[in-house]
Structure 1
């Protein structure tokens, strides 16, 4: 072993990969870039541009620039001649609409921005915008036009015409189609459900890789010796998977979502086959474990069911009651005792540890005989039966139980552990705290740090006899920076190796939140795997293979972002963590972005809402932790660093939308509790008004038909009023009169099961409208009449809304970012 040291009008309102190892790249970023758009290239800085009108009056300039060091100067001192500077041509499609943007500094007179369409050398059509004010400052100018029939190319013309004079400086000449697919922004190559082979395949590791709901997940077979993925197999019909196990006969089984399926893979076959789906409304197979004679046992969410599969069966067989433990939606972890024919089931929410006798059907919750502090957890997330002990992880606490018959004795409590742990070898069980390796000594009932860093967040541990070695090596598979890593540790001599695995699937990650940043760039935070993509509007290379910039490491799942006073605030799940990022300084995760606070200690998990006040305070709305209804409004004051948590501010409701105006916080709630809860405890969502100065909170039931809505999914301030959406109902609250002044249903297809389904934005260049997404549509609303105009028809997965500094709109469709320019 080679080792080294330590997202018509509004209505009533992947080719499958088997064994190939070609890594798919992110979709091509489709910016149409004007060559030398910022006049920074070439010795004269006018490279790629030609003087189209006149023979003088065009020059590069360092006198002033909007971005960078240079601009293009047009000096027109004659009313008898024109001066023009024209870009190189870019490809366009007849019938489509395009927009050109520029920064202009008008020092005198007037100037024009033209968009010109060509068929070969023939000018077919021109459109323009004239600028005559303001003087002596940088301003934005744009021209929008549809490409006529027969054209194939377009150019941009900076122009001062006959009959006028003027001096102007031009910078950042940008061009775009009205609708542009900007492609995948974040990629994922991190393993989920993982299991190790047995027998002749003991050196193989089997891991599930998950992309977006539009991407087929894959099983990767990784060779622990060569540290490469040697096979990739599609898992059709599934969205992803968390569970994997190896049966006693060497067959690999995979547990998937959203079909709650179990798939079988025979090592070396290059295929997987669906052997059954869990009965009822289950959506996840959360866990699997081997039983006797090739059997496997498993558990589900959200039915909380226990089942088995036996080779030759045509379906999964439910065992016992459903749910297996009353009131529990999760069977989150599982272990099987071969000798006693007993299965241990870790459930939630709240936590229970069920001992199920497969012979008699008797069951008991072992936590009931343990200290009350252990029964307060939300979930038993890990179970491992090894070394004569049952290891159970309750939230983040690992307990060690010695079993005497059916009665457990608590031997140890270990805090801060990661999800998986190894089988016992030489009296020790290994696990991770963060990325540090630890060992539990069964004889002494103590743990110690091994003094080794894994270099990753481990998904699974196994013992492998590597080629050429006489003894087994501890091997872990996991991820760092959204890439698969393999770790090896030989206890006998302490030799280690940590390496990135080659050839693993690279899949798109779903975008969960988007925002325009203080630097004018568009930030995309990923669902599930975490990571962040950064798009520099209309400046990306047109042959990019991925986002302009991708930060793979750092953030976990991003639930919301806020651009406020020069900082980008990023709120992530789990643990409702809030980070501050200064784009003006280098990226250095931990320092910049830096963690401001986390709300796990206040039982908050999903931070869906952010708002900011002029004095710098940040407000956070959260969905609570699993099995709970008590969401919170949290106030962070950067001046003092204080964090004030108003938990259960509206009884038994989550806080999922926020706006700040006139010294007051406006919040939208959801009666839907966290995952793992039952029916709502509250009757309907409310708009609440919170006064941070007094602590007073006043809830207001929505008017008319909207009164029964269960979630207020967005709030924004428009002309001093609070506009919001609640399951398709647009409402407007006027703080000046203290009441609602408008409500109407605009969409009929927005589900009640969501915490978030709408986004509203104002755009400075169009003060007559409010723009929004809801129900898979992009639309605008006339502020004076509330009339709705559809911009993008219903498109499944269309969600989110952000703007850039030019007022363009950005939305997401699952894992892809799109721009709408106007």
Structure 2
């Protein structure tokens, strides 16, 4: 895109005569008046780049049709539950877990039920029916630990609440035991197991709790260990011994539940992630890359000749038929990429089988356009990255962990990976698809490398502290050695970095690692001198309307001005680099998506426009006028060397999409909008997904994301996100409105009918009661009449049904509703509707 230049002969002559700088101001003003944003083509799905192999966190072994089988879940959108026949190394079935993206724990209950903690739900798989269902939604952010008892009830450990829940198999109800620690905003129950009426729960704050599942009473048992950090693994062996491993120290301890004491043994440098019951009183584990064991009769530690560089992602004893390499019992586990590995105790041989689990696309984390033919892509908690060629569409997988930052300098590509806080490099001129070379590990209690920038041959890295810790770091790498400078701003982590004229500019977040407790009130801006290795300025971000922001996001030096640009909490701003004062700012987003450390990512186009990903919304901004325009929803993005936008889709991060950037008026226009509804007949409380499709003049169909959906009867039907929700009986006409190039384009109309049923009315009454809108006495009476009405309805006794409805109507009419008159009116409306 080229900007039009005005003709200002008189202004130019006057400026030259008086004061030369006015020339640039006049030209800037004129170009701003005539400025037009580029046109943006429809989003086109390109590829699922991270689909080379499955990503597996855990597995469990059970019996199915007389065979030993492995149950495991592969990461994806959605996650996929898999059943593998271990005797034949054959995939028996794969079942999608809609709404879940991964699973960290599987357990096989005594009755054969396979419990899976995935997404927001506890799932149950039946080896008899070969089906899996979501049993209950767990009211917390994420699920991390799982255990079962002798009655086949399940127990779930969570984050952020740090709670334990019980799922009762008979009643299908949840019991919330509450927070295990209780005095921290963010808590984990990261590991746990069950024994003899007690849950043993490992937390992220060094504590292990013994929880009585009947009374809910709990006691902390690990204080004497003097450990810190995550109790990452915890298993009960032989129905007596608790094996607990701390991830920071890699020490594993043994607690005797019978004697109620920790045994006098410490297993060191243990990889995890599980141990299982003993064989001949020996419990096997992996430490120092070797399979070792502890003899429970004398607590002596010995090692086998078996070597293994990873950990046990679930481990169980099996006897494999038809493989002479595996006589007797073998210990089996699953690998990160889905293969199975057997450790035979008799022969001390390690036998690996390739994965038979179908590859599932991992979600995209970072996208980095290195050159015209190479875009580097990293994933989330996976071991595979990708290199995509925009010219040919070719995609190649590479070995790469979760890179939270990718940066190019001196024709090399640098990756900052989590959770090791390591920096790696690829030299594309040698081999663009090589496994990245590890340069160094930052350490110093750093975890997530959020920011990278470069200048004068040095790489600057900004990082977030590790779990429970405050105090990020600035790391400087000169090509040979690195230095770590912690707490540039005391007890704050670094979110953004920019380099300009020999100085490093930084932004912070008051938050540290997950589970930490911030001590500062607001984030800071700072300037750091690489020569003196000192901070030379620190300042609050001062923008009218923005009060003490806890995060300041990405920073970037303006290519065509003297400013340092940044973003925070929906604002984009320009800083004076000398004073760190805000010269100008604009609020582009009222309520940005609340990421843990605030997400604002800034990129500059070749024609000088600023692209800002604020939360999950991508905007383009004219840096001269601060005019802005919404482009699309995304989670990560970069501008390709071809000028187009490459991004991970907000609604499915496994897909990388592309938006073509064109000069104004160069794209095809929108001819019509089509609204499709999943269901058009609903009952109260039900939802229906909707889809809005644009049809261009060239007949091409595109998925639209920037639209408004209108319901003509919001009392009956309301719109929320990409769904309609039925609230009460009636009809509503639904229509989508699209803003296309400043014009409003309306879709077809879809009529949705909300029917009233006895079941939906009963659910509504219960909802009002639970919300304390209906008194208990009325609720009980209505419930009795409702049960009778449903009974008579099932028998076909219509008059008896109407009789019960009349009784309910009289009960409601006698109710003095006071402030809840609206609820009374709604109930009477529904009863009359049911009686029609």
Same-fold call, TM cutoff 0.5: yes
Are 2:517 and 1:657 equivalent residues in the alignment? no
Are 2:48 and 1:184 equivalent residues in the alignment? yes
The aligned residue for residue 328 of structure 2 is 471
Q: Per-residue deviation at 1:602?
A: 1.0
- Checking the alignment, whether the CA contact within 8 Å between 1:202 and 1:465 is kept in structure 2 is no
- Match of residue 549, structure 1, among 380, 384, 396: 396
Question: Following superposition, which runs of at least 4 residues in structure 1 exceed 6 angstroms of deviation?
Answer: none
Instruction: Identify the range of structure 1 (296-305 vs 717-726) with the bigger mean alpha-carbon deviation.
Output: 296-305
CA 1:687–1:737: 2 relative to 1, 3 Å:
closer
Give the Cα–Cα distance (whole angstroms) in 2 for the partners of residues 776 and 303 of structure 1. 25
Give the Cα–Cα distance (whole angstroms) in 1 for the partners of residues 549 and 539 of structure 2. 13
Are 2:248 and 1:392 equivalent residues in the alignment? no
Superposed CA deviations along residues 718-768 of structure 1, whole A, max 9, x for unmatched, are: 02320011121111112245532112212213134342422222233x14x
Give the Cα–Cα distance (whole angstroms) in 1 for the partners of residues 432 and 621 of structure 2. 38
| DSSP 3-state at the match of 2:57 | coil
- Checking the alignment, whether the CA contact within 8 Å between 1:490 and 1:496 is kept in structure 2 is yes
| DSSP 3-state at the match of 1:197 | strand
Give the Cα–Cα distance (whole angstroms) in 1 for the partners of residues 392 and 138 of structure 2. 49
The aligned residue for residue 252 of structure 1 is 114
Residues 45-84 of structure 1 mapped to structure 2, 5 A cutoff: none
Are 2:459 and 1:595 equivalent residues in the alignment? no
Task: Say which structure is richer in strand.
Answer: 1
Superposed CA deviations along residues 52-79 of structure 1, whole A, max 9, x for unmatched, are: xxxxxxxxxxxxxxxxxxxxxxxxxxxx
- Checking the alignment, whether the CA contact within 8 Å between 1:521 and 1:534 is kept in structure 2 is yes
Give the Cα–Cα distance (whole angstroms) in 1 for the partners of residues 230 and 309 of structure 2. 27
CA 1:743–1:446: 2 relative to 1, 3 Å:
farther
Residues 204-603 of structure 1 mapped to structure 2, 5 A cutoff: 204-211=69-76, 215-257=77-119, 259=120, 261-279=121-139, 282-319=140-177, 321-323=178-180, 326-327=183-184, 329-338=187-196, 341-348=197-204, 350-358=205-213, 361-370=216-225, 372=226, 374=227, 377-387=228-238, 388-396=240-248, 397-403=250-256, 405-433=259-287, 436-454=290-308, 458-467=312-321, 471-479=328-336, 483-502=337-356, 504-517=357-370, 520-540=373-393, 548-551=395-398, 553=399, 555-586=400-431, 593-599=436-442, 601-603=443-445
| DSSP 3-state at the match of 1:710 | coil
- Match of residue 636, structure 2, among 800, 806, 809: 800
Q: Per-residue deviation at 1:561?
A: 0.2
Structure 1 unpaired stretches of 5+: 1-96, 98-143, 147-175, 541-546
Give the Cα–Cα distance (whole angstroms) in 2 for the partners of residues 303 and 668 of structure 1. 29
Structure 2 unpaired stretches of 5+: 2-36, 663-836
Q: Per-residue deviation at 1:360?
A: 5.8
| DSSP 3-state at the match of 1:313 | coil
Give the Cα–Cα distance (whole angstroms) in 2 for the partners of residues 500 and 455 of structure 1. 17
| Number of residues of Structure 1 aligned to a counterpart in Structure 2 | 611
The aligned residue for residue 648 of structure 1 is 487
| DSSP 3-state at the match of 2:338 | strand
- Checking the alignment, whether the CA contact within 8 Å between 2:495 and 2:553 is kept in structure 1 is yes
Superposed CA deviations along residues 551-608 of structure 1, whole A, max 9, x for unmatched, are: 1x3x22110100111110001110211111111113686xx52111223x31111111
Give the Cα–Cα distance (whole angstroms) in 1 for the partners of residues 154 and 603 of structure 2. 51
| DSSP 3-state at the match of 2:339 | strand
Superposed CA deviations along residues 310-356 of structure 1, whole A, max 9, x for unmatched, are: 3212222223x434554371111112223xx33211012x2101122
Higher RCO, 1 vs 2 (CA within 8 Å, ≥6 residues apart):
1
Give the Cα–Cα distance (whole angstroms) in 1 for the partners of residues 378 and 565 of structure 2. 25
- Checking the alignment, whether the CA contact within 8 Å between 1:435 and 1:455 is kept in structure 2 is yes
| DSSP 3-state at the match of 1:292 | coil
Q: Per-residue deviation at 1:433?
A: 4.3
CA 1:716–1:737: 2 relative to 1, 3 Å:
same
- Checking the alignment, whether the CA contact within 8 Å between 2:317 and 2:332 is kept in structure 1 is yes
Give the Cα–Cα distance (whole angstroms) in 2 for the partners of residues 537 and 665 of structure 1. 33
| DSSP 3-state at the match of 2:151 | helix
The aligned residue for residue 795 of structure 2 is none
Superposed CA deviations along residues 184-243 of structure 1, whole A, max 9, x for unmatched, are: 1112512233211158666111111221xxx22221011111112211122233333212
- Match of residue 638, structure 1, among 451, 455, 479: 479
Q: Per-residue deviation at 1:455?
A: 7.3
The aligned residue for residue 730 of structure 2 is none
Residues 2-41 of structure 1 mapped to structure 2, 5 A cutoff: none
The aligned residue for residue 572 of structure 2 is 730
- Match of residue 621, structure 1, among 462, 470, 480: 462
CA 1:436–1:520: 2 relative to 1, 3 Å:
farther
Give the Cα–Cα distance (whole angstroms) in 1 for the partners of residues 87 and 636 of structure 2. 44
Superposed CA deviations along residues 445-493 of structure 1, whole A, max 9, x for unmatched, are: 34444333447654111101223687322111122xxx31111122112
- Checking the alignment, whether the CA contact within 8 Å between 1:575 and 1:598 is kept in structure 2 is yes
The aligned residue for residue 770 of structure 2 is none
- Checking the alignment, whether the CA contact within 8 Å between 1:381 and 1:393 is kept in structure 2 is yes
CA 1:324–1:201: 2 relative to 1, 3 Å:
farther
Give the Cα–Cα distance (whole angstroms) in 2 for the partners of residues 801 and 311 of structure 1. 45
| DSSP 3-state at the match of 1:424 | coil
- Match of residue 647, structure 2, among 811, 815, 822: 811
CA 1:312–1:324: 2 relative to 1, 3 Å:
farther
| DSSP 3-state at the match of 1:369 | helix
| DSSP 3-state at the match of 1:626 | coil
Are 2:58 and 1:193 equivalent residues in the alignment? yes
Are 2:584 and 1:742 equivalent residues in the alignment? yes
| DSSP 3-state at the match of 2:546 | helix
The aligned residue for residue 522 of structure 2 is 684
Give the Cα–Cα distance (whole angstroms) in 2 for the partners of residues 203 and 714 of structure 1. 51
- Checking the alignment, whether the CA contact within 8 Å between 2:539 and 2:580 is kept in structure 1 is no
Give the Cα–Cα distance (whole angstroms) in 2 for the partners of residues 301 and 179 of structure 1. 35
Q: Per-residue deviation at 1:509?
A: 1.2
